[in-house]
Structure 1
Amino acid sequence: MTADPRERSLRGFTGAGYDKGRGIAVQAAWFAALNLLFVKWWFPARWRPALLRAFGAAVGQRVLIRHRVRVQWPWKLEVGDDVWIGEDSWLINLEPITIGSDVCVSQGAMLCTGSHQRRSPTFEFDNGPIRLEPGSWVAARAVVLRGVTVGEGAVVGAGAVAHQDVKAGAVLTTGGTS
């Protein structure tokens, strides 16, 4: 569809093609666990991977997840070994997010698998998975958008926005890729 965005009608939004992956009872249980336990400073960091696993995530060994980290759907998350996820990070995984081993997702980073078709008059979803290859780093307040792979050893620098793949070993800054 190639409608004029000025003729947008959000009332007609259907969400067609998006599958949350679990029923409403599991979704509600996760939101309760997320907001009452997982994000809290007093909830032990060593228990966070276990809680994600209990809701269907595949989480490796020696994974450190700090407080105030938000995960939309654990059952759409795969995390390798020796991963660090910093405070205030947000994993909006309407589609799968795969995080390889030895990856650092720093404070306030956002991984967002969701988007919308800007030319659709009803603003339908345009989602895609995210993959962080082993040894990559998503620095503080950086954003990785839907459909992006951050290559092995690559860096999405502080405040940068990765809207397309970042090649292995590359460094993306707010000024571009080097």
Structure 2
Amino acid sequence: MHKTDLSTYNNYPFHPGGNALKRLLWFYVNAAFFKTSFIPSSRFKVFLLRTFGATIGKKVTIKPCVNIKYPWFLQIGDNTWIGENVWIDSLVMISIGANVCLSQGAILLTGSHNYKTPSFNLMTQSVILEDGVWIGAGATVNLGVTAGSHSVLTSGSVATKNLEPYCIYQGNPAVKVRNREIGL
């Protein structure tokens, strides 16, 4: 039986984008202005994200203590809310539509490891949250998942597969529990 041998780890063909100086600067900007509760202003955070290459829509709210891996792999639509302690692990592109709510402690993952190989190699895939999606508090969206328009992932749930539009998902792994109906 084979064993895991992390000395042979290889993250090829992954590249974090940008140059080393840009990545180093972002590390400090992220720590000083995003992962902290000292800077409550969403406008300033949006300015910084755009400066580092993110595409950000209008009226985006970013709460304190948010961690964003690489903003140059991030797109956010209009009127989107990003709650406290959200982790956006953008090793590759994360696309967040308009009117999306990422509740407190939500996690968006674009990377994992191939547990079937001794070297435990890095695997990456994009995450897409279409318009009107709600990711509940403490919920996790795994790599390669598309959350269809106005879908809901309830608190603490884990999405490992695509979420159908206008459906509510719950559990680990998340399963469809009912349709989402939006009334007046």
TM-score (structure 2 length as normaliser) = 0.92
- Specify every segment of 5 or more residues in structure 2 that has no aligned partner in the other structure, as ranges: 178-184
Hey, what's the Cα distance between the residues in 1 that align with 2:59 and 2:166? 24
Offset from partner CA, 1:105-161 (integer Å, 9 cap, x none): 000000000011111110111110000000010010000000000000100100000
Shift of 1:45: 2.2
Give the structure 1 partner of residue 176 of structure 2: 177
Runs of 4+ in 1 over 3 A off after TM superposition: none
95-104 or 38-47, which moves further after superposition?
A: 38-47
- The structure carrying a bigger strand percent of its residues is 2
1:150 counterpart (147, 151, 154): 147
1:29 aligns with 2:25: yes
SS in 2 for 1:126: strand
State, as a whole percentage, how many aligned pairs show the same letter. 33
TM superposition shift of 1:14: 1.6
CA shift digits 1:7-29 (9 cap, x unpaired) = 11000112111010111111110
Measured after TM superposition, the shift of residue 85 of structure 1 is 0.2
What is the aligned-residue RMSD (CA, Å)?
A: 1.1
Please list every run of 5 or more consecutive structure 1 residues that lacks an aligned counterpart in the other structure: none
Task: Give 2:20's aligned amino acid.
Answer: I
Tell me the residue number matched to 1:136. Answer: 133
Note the C-alpha offset of 1:80. Answer: 0.4
Amino acid at match of 1:176: V
Return the alpha-carbon distance in structure 2 between the equivalents of residues 51 and 105 of structure 1.
Answer: 20
Structure 2: distance between partners of 1:138 and 1:150: 9
* Equivalent runs, 1:83-98 vs 2, <5 Å: 83-98=80-95
SS at match of 1:172: strand
TM-score, structure 1 as length reference: 0.95
Number of matched residues? 174
SS in 1 for 2:164: coil
Distance 1:64 1:100 in 2: 13
1:61 aligns with 2:58: yes
Answer yes or no: is 1:122 the counterpart of 2:114.
no
Q: CA-to-partner distance for each residue in 1:61-119, whole Å, 9 max, x for gaps?
A: 00000010000000000000000000000000111100000000000000000011111
Matched, 1:17 2:17: no
Amino acid aligned to 2:3: E
Q: Give the SS at the match of 2:88.
A: strand
> Quick one: which amino acid aligns to residue 176 of structure 2?
T
Distance of 1:38 and 1:79 partners within structure 2: 16
